[in-house]
Structure 1
Amino acid sequence: FDHGVDCVCNLAFCANIFGLVMIGSGWCLMIQFTLQFTFYMAQWEEYHTHVLQHSVGGVFGVTEVNYGLALFTLLNAFLDRKALWRLPINYFLPFLPDNNIHLGHASLIGTLIMFSLLIIGSLKRVSAHPNVRNNRMTAFGQLITPASIGIALVFLPQSVLENQTRYVSLAMGLLFSLLTKKIIVFSMAKMTFATIQLEAIPLLLVTFFIQRNNADDATTFDQRILQLLCLWYMFRLHKWAWLAVNQICRRLDIYCFTIKHPKKS
């Protein structure tokens, strides 16, 4: 339940940025990728160190972020969003030269820097942990699959990123959700998590096909294949969760949503 709430907060974070700051599709997908990659890395760190970091410096933690998101949303309700977030950054910092960077872009750059610091912190802590010192290649290899998702986004045509944002975002989100849930469950069960996750192959193949497709009906093809990709990852996420829950319930002799009372003799 706790991790599920974290995932919902991630979604709220993305929705706030996309709707309130009013940025382009490329920025939206970049923020979503870095956010979900950072969340995956937090679970990856827990997998190797058995400690889930929930704050930075003991001051800025998950609770503060969630309250901050709520406050950010309320404040935007009383502001002229279009006028505020599209103000040039040198309006606030006159000493900067004239440029096309708006307040919205500057805020997102700051957010990306924050995510980067969190990622670097996870890398340093895992690298220095006694459980990983002699097996760093395997540990860092587990980041190849989620990193490949971001690389795939770079190779998607700009027209696809702009016109099919919803499907690209949903497919990427479902895949990250599946990978993150798997590493959480494997960490709790103390099971080996494969270095390369084959779940990413369909997304990589779709990216390759879209990149190579130059047909006249390319827009329709791109939309259909991305829709199928979303349906596939919805099926995979549901199937994997169903299998995992059933196995856990059978192994521990419990029910998923209710308390199993002992049978009367």
Structure 2
Amino acid sequence: MASRNSKEAIAECISDDALIHLKTYKYSAVDKSPISHYILRPYWNAFVELLPLWIAPNMVTLLGFFFILVNVALLVIFMPDLLGPGPSWLYFSFAFGLFMYQTMDNVDGKQARRTGTSSGLGELFDHGIDSLNCTLASLLETAALGLGTSKSGVFTALLPCLPMFFSTWETYHTHTLYLGYINGPTEGILIACFLMAVSGWYGPGIWTERLVDLFGDRLYLVKGLGLTEQVLGDLAFRDLWVTFIASSLLFGHIPFCVLNVVKARRSRGQAVAPVFLEWTPMAIFTFSIAGWLYSPHSTLRSENHLVLFCITMSFVFGRMTTKMILAHLTRQPFPFWTVMLWPLVGGAVLFNLPILGFAPLSAQVEHAYLWGYLVFAAIVYFRWAYLVTTSICRFLGINCLTIPYEKQVANKKAALEAKKAANGRANGKTQ
């Protein structure tokens, strides 16, 4: 009976018919970034050689995520208000942790090819961790800029979910992960690391200083762009931040995602209009968050619960996007809904009830509701992730976080033979 229930639970998440497609799946990605190609790729190629052959690529991904989790824990301990200023070393730790996350996120695939353990599970695991990281790494950026729980802080912490959704949606239809000449996983992360490091050196107060004062005698450098002292006025970097990241998304990222999906659909003779209905879950996610956190009757921002809210949203958004990735890997219909959205919609409704004339709920009730949502989201997420991962591992005959001993021995032998061959060629050239 227990075995049958287990099989039914797995079938609920992923069917045998869907798993068949994993046998023929091949990863496809395009990265146009010059920084990635000419600067970071040589570094990644050198870094992966430092990793032992017994470390599984999914474990490499997980190790990168641990750098973020440790820094989130440090954030909660030393700067829970996301405002600061915190100790200088904390900002440098944020920058280092995010950079190491980027490093591990890019060498896990190289480790998979190096150890001969590439599979569709690797992409699911990799992008699943990326989805969880969207709100967590952005919390570090929010704290580094000293935005606190302001509306700009909420925007900064949760906006990265949008580009991640659209990239995943694009990949679902094109079957290729496309990264442009300037993209979030490369330049976006490097910019974030730079901002964190600057906060560590000068303090987060630098982002609220007038640009005129920051330029000082060097104001002539930007006068040619029409940025005179009169134009800049009292503007600070933080005043331009929301406009900058919103413009990058609306005019840079989303249009190209849509264009690539339209091209892919038309090339296969498929209708284009229906795909825009697939934005429904993200629209519900986005507007529910805005309706809840920006409500004048919500106390989450005033009571400093943005970190707890973002951790909860990491599970919710992680489930949404990982379901899309799984559907892409197994060629299944687009997943329009997840049960984890219901409490989010409920929060947006409950804490706007005074608009309809009802008495507002207390801060204690809202805090308890959010904690309940976190527990519910974590249970649902980890149950689903466990069932999907174990079913894929069983079907493909692989391990998720370890490399079988026989494979380790074979990899070590192959590495020794390759080293001998390289030494032989070097000796031949010397002679």
TM range (shorter): 0.7 to 0.9
Provide, for residues 93-136 of structure 1, a one-character-per-residue CA deviation record: whole Å limited to 9, x for no partner. 4232756x532131232122112221222122212323676333
| Equivalent residue number for residue 193 of structure 2 | 70
Contact 2:319/2:338, CA 8 A, preserved across alignment? no
Q: Matches of 2:261 and 2:300 in 1, distance apart?
A: 34
Q: Matches of 1:105 and 1:171 in 2, distance apart?
A: 28
| Equivalent residue number for residue 236 of structure 2 | 102
Q: CA deviation at 1:3?
A: 2.5
Provide, for residues 19-70 of structure 1, a one-character-per-residue CA deviation record: whole Å limited to 9, x for no partner. 121114222222233211211211111010011012x23x556334333433
Q: Matches of 1:72 and 1:127 in 2, distance apart?
A: 35
Kindly indicate whether residue 160 of structure 2 is the aligned counterpart of residue 35 of structure 1.
Answer: yes
Please, which of 185, 208, 211 is the counterpart of residue 352 of structure 2? 211
Other structure's SS at 2:401 match:
coil
Other structure's SS at 1:142 match:
helix
Q: How many residues align?
A: 258
Q: What residue ranges of structure 2 are gaps of 5+ in the alignment? A: 1-60, 62-125, 216-226, 407-431
Q: Matches of 1:133 and 1:35 in 2, distance apart?
A: 32
Change (3 A) 1:18 1:90: same
TM-score by length of 1: 0.84
Counterpart amino acid of residue 271 in structure 2: N
User: Where do 1:1-265 residues align within 5 Å?
Assistant: 1=61, 2-3=126-127, 6-7=130-131, 10-11=134-135, 13-25=137-149, 26-54=151-179, 56-57=180-181, 62-82=185-205, 84-89=206-211, 93=227, 94-96=229-231, 98=233, 101-116=235-250, 117-130=252-265, 134-156=270-292, 157-158=295-296, 159-162=298-301, 163=303, 164-212=305-353, 215=359, 218-260=362-404
Q: Matches of 1:7 and 1:195 in 2, distance apart?
A: 17
Q: Which runs of 4+ in 1 moved over 6 A?
A: none
Counterpart amino acid of residue 235 in structure 1: I
Q: What residue ranges of structure 1 are gaps of 5+ in the alignment? A: none
Contact 1:21/1:81, CA 8 A, preserved across alignment? yes
Q: CA deviation at 1:11?
A: 4.9
Which has the higher mean CA deviation after the structures are superposed, 172-181 or 59-68?
Answer: 59-68
Change (3 A) 1:195 1:4: closer
Q: Matches of 1:105 and 1:133 in 2, distance apart?
A: 46
TM-score by length of 2: 0.54
Change (3 A) 1:201 1:136: farther
Change (3 A) 1:37 1:97: closer
Other structure's SS at 1:199 match:
helix
Which has the higher mean CA deviation after the structures are superposed, 240-249 or 84-93?
Answer: 84-93
Counterpart amino acid of residue 104 in structure 1: R
Contact 2:145/2:195, CA 8 A, preserved across alignment? no
Q: Matches of 1:210 and 1:11 in 2, distance apart?
A: 22
Q: CA deviation at 1:229?
A: 0.7
Contact 2:210/2:237, CA 8 A, preserved across alignment? yes
Contact 1:90/1:96, CA 8 A, preserved across alignment? no
Q: CA deviation at 1:141?
A: 1.5
Q: Matches of 1:86 and 1:149 in 2, distance apart?
A: 31
Which has the higher mean CA deviation after the structures are superposed, 189-198 or 243-252?
Answer: 189-198
Which has the higher mean CA deviation after the structures are superposed, 12-21 or 245-254?
Answer: 12-21
Q: Matches of 1:67 and 1:146 in 2, distance apart?
A: 26
The sequence identity of aligned pairs, in percent, is 17
- Please say which structure displays the higher CA radius of gyration: 2
Provide, for residues 154-199 of structure 1, a one-character-per-residue CA deviation record: whole Å limited to 9, x for no partner. 3222443412323332222221111111111221122212234443
Change (3 A) 1:32 1:137: farther
Q: CA deviation at 1:238?
A: 0.3
Q: Matches of 2:361 and 2:337 in 1, distance apart?
A: 34
Q: CA deviation at 1:17?
A: 2.4
Change (3 A) 1:39 1:113: same
Counterpart amino acid of residue 178 in structure 2: Q
Change (3 A) 1:63 1:237: same
Q: Matches of 1:204 and 1:125 in 2, distance apart?
A: 31
Contact 1:45/1:52, CA 8 A, preserved across alignment? yes
Contact 2:208/2:237, CA 8 A, preserved across alignment? yes
The RMSD of aligned alpha carbons is 2.7
Counterpart amino acid of residue 373 in structure 2: L
